[in-house]
Structure 1
Amino acid sequence: MQKAASLPLPPADAQAASDTLAARIGESIDAAGGWIGFDRYMALALYAPGLGYYSGGSAKFGRDARDGSDFITAPELSPFFARTLARQFAPLIAQGLPRMMEFGAGTGRLAADLLLGLEQEGRLPQEYAIVELSGELRARQQETLAQRAPHLAARVRWLDALPDSFEGLIVGNEVLDAMPVQLYARIDGRWHERGVARTEPGAAAAFHFEDRVLADADVPAMQRDIPGDHDLVTETHAEAEGFIRAVGAMLARGAAFFIDYGFPAAEYYHPQRTGGTLMCHYRHHAHPDPFLYPGLQDITAHVNFSGVAAAAVETGLTVSGFASQARFLMNAGITELLMALDPSDARAFLPQANAVQKLLSEAEMGELFKVIALTRGLDDGTDASEPLAGFARGDRCHTL
Structure 2
Amino acid sequence: MTLPLPDADALAYSEALKRRIAYEIESSAGWIDFARFMQLALYEPGMGYYSGGAHKFGAAGDFVTAPEISAAFSQTIGAQAEQIFALSAPQLIEVGAGSGRLAADLLLELERRRSLPERYAILELSGELRERQRRTIGHSAAHLLARVDWLDRLPERFDGLLLANELLDAMPVHLVLWGRGDDDQTILERGVAWENKALVWRDRPAGSRLLDRAQALAEECQPPPGYLSEIGLAATDWTAAWAGILGKGALLLIDYGFPRHEYYHPQRDSGTLMCHYRHHAHGDPFFLPGLQDITAHVDFTAIVESGVGAGLDLLGYTTQAAFLLNCGLTEVLARIPVEDHRRYLPQAQAANKLISPAEMGDLFKVLAFGRGIDTTLIGFAQGDRSVSL
Report the TM-score, using the length of structure 1 for normalisation.
0.93
Report what 2:382 is aligned to.
393
- Residue by residue over 1:114-168, the C-alpha shift from the partner in whole angstroms, topping out at 9 and shown as x without a partner, is 1111111111100000001111000000000100101111000000001110111
- Stretch of structure 1 that moved more, 235-244 or 211-220: 211-220
Q: Structure 1 residue 229: deviation in Å?
A: 3.3
Cα deviations by residue, 1:196-227 (Å, 9 ceiling, x for unpaired): 01132xx2xx1111111347993521144332
- What's the counterpart of residue 148 of structure 2? 156
- 2:70 aligned with 1:75, yes or no? no
After TM superposition, give the deviation of residue 92 of structure 1 in Å.
1.9
Write out aligned runs for 1:343-362 (5 A).
343-362=338-357
Q: Secondary structure at the match of 1:60?
A: coil
Cα distance, 1:340 vs. partner?
2.1
Distance in 2 (alpha carbons) for counterparts of 1:47 and 1:394: 36
Alpha-carbon distance in 2 for matches of 1:164, 1:224: 37
2:261 is aligned with 1:266: yes
Asked if the contact 2:43–2:50 (Cα under 8 Å) also holds between the matched residues in 1, the reply is yes
How many residues in Structure 1 have an aligned counterpart in Structure 2? Answer: 382
In structure 1, what is the equivalent of residue 358 of structure 2? Answer: 363
Specify the code of the residue in structure 1 equivalent to 2:343: A
Aligned to 1:123: 115
Aligned pairs for 1:187-206 (under 5 A) are 187-188=180-181, 189=184, 190-200=186-196, 203=197, 206=198
**Cα distance in structure 2, aligned partners of 1:159 and 1:79:** 25
The root-mean-square deviation of aligned C-alpha atoms, in Å, is 1.4
For 1:152, give the aligned amino acid.
L
> What corresponds to 2:334 in structure 1?
339
Q: Residues 1-400 of structure 1 correspond to what in structure 2 (within 5 A)? A: 2=1, 6-63=2-59, 67=60, 69-186=61-178, 187-188=180-181, 189=184, 190-200=186-196, 203=197, 206-214=198-206, 218-219=211-212, 220=214, 221-227=216-222, 229-381=224-376, 388-400=377-389
Cα deviation digits, residues 90-134 of structure 1 (max 9, x gap): 122123411100001001110111111111111110000000111
What is the distance in 1 between the residues matched to 2:229 and 2:220? 12
Unaligned runs of 5+ in 1: 382-387
CA deviation vs aligned residue, 1:230-270 (integer Å, no higher than 9, x gap): 32210001001111111221111100100000011111112
> In 2, Cα distance between the equivalents of 1:339 and 1:180?
40
Q: In 2, Cα distance between the equivalents of 1:152 and 1:264?
A: 38
Give the conservation status (yes or no) of the 8 Å contact 2:31–2:192.
yes
Q: Which amino acid aligns with 2:260?
A: A
C-alpha displacement at 1:320, in angstroms? 0.5
Amino acid at match of 2:387: H
Equivalents in 2 of 1:153, 1:222: separation in Å? 46
SS at match of 1:255: strand
> What amino acid is the match of 1:343?
V
What do the CA deviations read for 1:361-400 (whole angstroms, capped 9, x no partner)? 111000000000000011222xxxxxx1110111011111
Secondary structure, counterpart of 2:270 in structure 1: coil
User: After TM superposition, what 4+ stretches of structure 1 lie above 4 angstroms from structure 2?
Assistant: none
Q: Is the 1:166–1:253 Cα contact (8 Å) retained in structure 2?
A: yes
Q: List alignment gaps of at least 5 residues for structure 2.
A: none
SS of structure 2 residue aligned to 1:70 = coil
Query: 2:118 & 2:95 partners in 1: Cα distance?
Result: 18
Aligned to 2:315, the other structure's residue is in SS state strand
Q: Would you say the 8 A contact 1:223–1:269 is kept in 2?
A: no
TM-score (norm 2): 0.96
